[in-house]
Structure 1
Amino acid sequence: MAHSGSLLWRNLRVYQIYGANTEVGKTIFTTTLCNATSKLYSSESTAYLKPDIVPLAGWKSIDTQQEGFGYSHIRKYARGVSVTTMHQYDLAISPHAAALGKTIPKDADLLSSIYSHLSDAARSGNPGGWFFIETAGGVHSPGPSGTSQAELYRPLRCPVLLVGDAKLGGISTTISAFESLRLRGYDIEAVLLFEDEQFRNHDYLKAYFEKKHRVRVVSAPAPPLSESQGSQEDAERMARFYNETMLSGTVKSVLEHLDERHKARVTRLESLSSEGHQRIWWPFTQQKLLSPAKITAIDSANGDFFQTLNAPRPEDFSEHRARQTPAPQEPLLQSSFDGSASWWTQGLGHANSSLTLAAAYAAGRYGHVMFAEAIHEPALALAETLLKGMSDGGNDRLSRVFYSDDGSTGVESALKMGLRAARTRYGWPADTKLGIIGLEGAYHGDTIGAMDCADPSAYNEKVEWYEGKGVWLTPPSVMCRGGRWTVKIPAEFHEAGSGMAGEMSAESLSDVFDFRTREARGEHQLYEARVERVLKHHLDKGRKFGAIMMEPVILGAGGMVLVDPLFQRALVNVVRRSQHLFSPESVQQPREKPDWTGLPVIFDEVFTGLYRLGRFTASSFLGLDADISVHAKLLTGGLVPLCATLASESIFRAFASNDKTDALLHGHSYTAHPVGCQVALESLQQMQTMESSGSWAEFQTGGSGAEDACWSIWSPQVVEWLSRRPSVAGVWALGSVMSIHLESPGGSGYTSTAAVALRDALRASNHGPAQNPWNVHSRVLGNVLYLMGSQKTGKDVVLHIERLLRQHLS
Structure 2
Amino acid sequence: MNLSERDKLYNWHPYTQHKTAADFPAIVKGEGALLWDENGKEYVDAIASWWVNPYGHSNKVIADAIYEQLTTLEHVLFGGFTHDKAVLLAEKLMTILPKNQKKLFYSDNGSTAVEVALKCALQYNYNKGIKKTKIIAFEDAFHGDTFGAMASSGISFFTKAFKGSLLEVIRIPVPTKGNEEKSLQALQNLVVTNEYAAFIFEPLVQGAAGMVMYSYEVLDKMISICNQNNVFTIADEVMTGFGKTGKTFATDYLVNKPDMMCLSKALTGGTIPMAITTFTQEVFDGFYDDDTNKALFHGHTFTANPTGCAAALASINLLQTYAMQYNIAQINKLHLAFEAKIKSHPKVKTTRVLGVIFALEIKTESQESYYGTMRNKLYNFFVENGVILRPVGNIVYILPPYVITNTQLEKVYTTVEKALEIV
Give the TM-score band, short-chain normalised: over 0.9
* CA displacement at 1:743 relative to structure 2: 2.3
The residue type equivalent to 2:255 in the other structure is G
Is 1:451 equivalent to 2:139 in the alignment? Answer: no
Between the aligned partners of 1:549 and 1:564, the Cα distance in structure 2 is 16
Asked if the contact 1:339–1:779 (Cα under 8 Å) also holds between the matched residues in 2, the reply is: no
Q: Quote the residue 1:660 is aligned against.
A: 292
Asked if the contact 2:268–2:312 (Cα under 8 Å) also holds between the matched residues in 1, the reply is: yes
Task: Quickly say closer, same or farther: Cα 1:446–1:349, change in 2 above 3 A.
Answer: same
Write the deviation string for residues 506-543 of structure 1: whole angstroms up to 9, x where unpaired.
xxxxxxxxxxxxxxxxxx6665334324555xx3xxx7
Is 1:730 equivalent to 2:381 in the alignment? Answer: no
Between the aligned partners of 1:659 and 1:301, the Cα distance in structure 2 is 51
Is 1:791 equivalent to 2:402 in the alignment? Answer: yes
Match among 27, 49, 55 for residue 298 of structure 1? 27
Pairing 1:598-637 to 2, within 5 Å after superposition: 598-637=230-269
Match among 63, 76, 97 for residue 369 of structure 1? 76
Q: Quote the residue 2:377 is aligned against.
A: 757
The residue type equivalent to 1:305 in the other structure is L
Q: Quote the residue 1:717 is aligned against.
A: 337
Q: Quote the residue 1:417 is aligned against.
A: 120
TM-score (norm 2): 0.93
SS at match of 1:780: coil
Asked if the contact 2:104–2:279 (Cα under 8 Å) also holds between the matched residues in 1, the reply is: yes
The residue type equivalent to 1:450 in the other structure is A
Pairing 1:79-478 to 2, within 5 Å after superposition: 271-292=2-23, 295-309=24-38, 332-390=39-97, 395-425=98-128, 427-428=129-130, 432=131, 434-455=133-154, 457-463=156-162, 466-477=165-176
Write the deviation string for residues 450-504 of structure 1: whole angstroms up to 9, x where unpaired.
1112236111111366425211111133xxxxxxxxx243xxxxxxxxxxxxxxx
Asked if the contact 1:399–1:646 (Cα under 8 Å) also holds between the matched residues in 2, the reply is: yes
SS at match of 2:277: strand
SS at match of 1:398: coil
Asked if the contact 1:555–1:562 (Cα under 8 Å) also holds between the matched residues in 2, the reply is: yes
Between the aligned partners of 2:412 and 2:149, the Cα distance in structure 1 is 35
Asked if the contact 2:361–2:394 (Cα under 8 Å) also holds between the matched residues in 1, the reply is: yes
Identity of aligned residues (%): 27
Q: Quote the residue 1:544 is aligned against.
A: 195
* CA displacement at 1:806 relative to structure 2: 2.9
Query: Higher Cα Rg: structure 1 or 2?
Result: 1
Match among 404, 417, 420 for residue 806 of structure 1? 417
* CA displacement at 1:695 relative to structure 2: 4.2
Match among 161, 171, 187 for residue 531 of structure 1? 187
Write the deviation string for residues 614-661 of structure 1: whole angstroms up to 9, x where unpaired.
211110123331111111111000000001111111110100122222
Task: Quickly say closer, same or farther: Cα 1:759–1:740, change in 2 above 3 A.
Answer: farther
Between the aligned partners of 1:699 and 1:642, the Cα distance in structure 2 is 23
Relative contact order (alpha carbons < 8 A, sep ≥ 6): 1 or 2 greater?
A: 2
Pairing 1:480-629 to 2, within 5 Å after superposition: 487-489=177-179, 527-535=183-191, 539=193, 544-577=195-228, 579=229, 598-629=230-261
Between the aligned partners of 1:713 and 1:557, the Cα distance in structure 2 is 24
Q: Quote the residue 1:779 is aligned against.
A: 390
Write the deviation string for residues 71-106 of structure 1: whole angstroms up to 9, x where unpaired.
xxxxxxxxxxxxxxxxxxxxxxxxxxxxxxxxxxxx
Q: Quote the residue 1:640 is aligned against.
A: 272
Between the aligned partners of 1:337 and 1:736, the Cα distance in structure 2 is 16
Between the aligned partners of 2:328 and 2:303, the Cα distance in structure 1 is 37
Between the aligned partners of 1:277 and 1:379, the Cα distance in structure 2 is 39
- Structure 1 unaligned spans of 5+: 1-269, 310-331, 478-486, 490-523, 580-597, 702-710, 766-774
Q: Quote the residue 1:683 is aligned against.
A: 315
SS at match of 1:640: coil
Between the aligned partners of 1:808 and 1:548, the Cα distance in structure 2 is 38
Asked if the contact 2:191–2:231 (Cα under 8 Å) also holds between the matched residues in 1, the reply is: no
SS at match of 1:678: helix
Between the aligned partners of 1:714 and 1:357, the Cα distance in structure 2 is 31
SS at match of 2:102: strand
Task: Quickly say closer, same or farther: Cα 1:476–1:725, change in 2 above 3 A.
Answer: farther
Match among 742, 745, 751 for residue 362 of structure 2? 742
* CA displacement at 1:736 relative to structure 2: 2.0
Between the aligned partners of 2:319 and 2:53, the Cα distance in structure 1 is 12
TM-score (norm 1): 0.50
Q: Quote the residue 1:22 is aligned against.
A: none
SS at match of 1:420: helix
SS at match of 1:547: strand
Between the aligned partners of 1:435 and 1:351, the Cα distance in structure 2 is 43
Root-mean-square deviation (CA), in Å? Answer: 2.2
Asked if the contact 2:175–2:182 (Cα under 8 Å) also holds between the matched residues in 1, the reply is: no
Between the aligned partners of 1:534 and 1:630, the Cα distance in structure 2 is 23
Between the aligned partners of 1:625 and 1:749, the Cα distance in structure 2 is 35
Asked if the contact 1:439–1:550 (Cα under 8 Å) also holds between the matched residues in 2, the reply is: yes
* CA displacement at 1:278 relative to structure 2: 2.0
Asked if the contact 1:547–1:602 (Cα under 8 Å) also holds between the matched residues in 2, the reply is: yes
- Structure 2 unaligned spans of 5+: none
Task: Quickly say closer, same or farther: Cα 1:533–1:620, change in 2 above 3 A.
Answer: same
Between the aligned partners of 2:16 and 2:178, the Cα distance in structure 1 is 31
SS at match of 2:159: coil
Task: Quickly say closer, same or farther: Cα 1:698–1:687, change in 2 above 3 A.
Answer: closer
Between the aligned partners of 1:762 and 1:333, the Cα distance in structure 2 is 17
Asked if the contact 1:421–1:600 (Cα under 8 Å) also holds between the matched residues in 2, the reply is: no
Asked if the contact 1:349–1:790 (Cα under 8 Å) also holds between the matched residues in 2, the reply is: yes
Between the aligned partners of 1:675 and 1:465, the Cα distance in structure 2 is 39
Between the aligned partners of 1:417 and 1:284, the Cα distance in structure 2 is 29
SS at match of 1:625: coil
Between the aligned partners of 1:728 and 1:413, the Cα distance in structure 2 is 40
SS at match of 2:320: helix
Between the aligned partners of 1:377 and 1:731, the Cα distance in structure 2 is 45
Between the aligned partners of 1:456 and 1:793, the Cα distance in structure 2 is 31
The residue type equivalent to 2:210 in the other structure is G
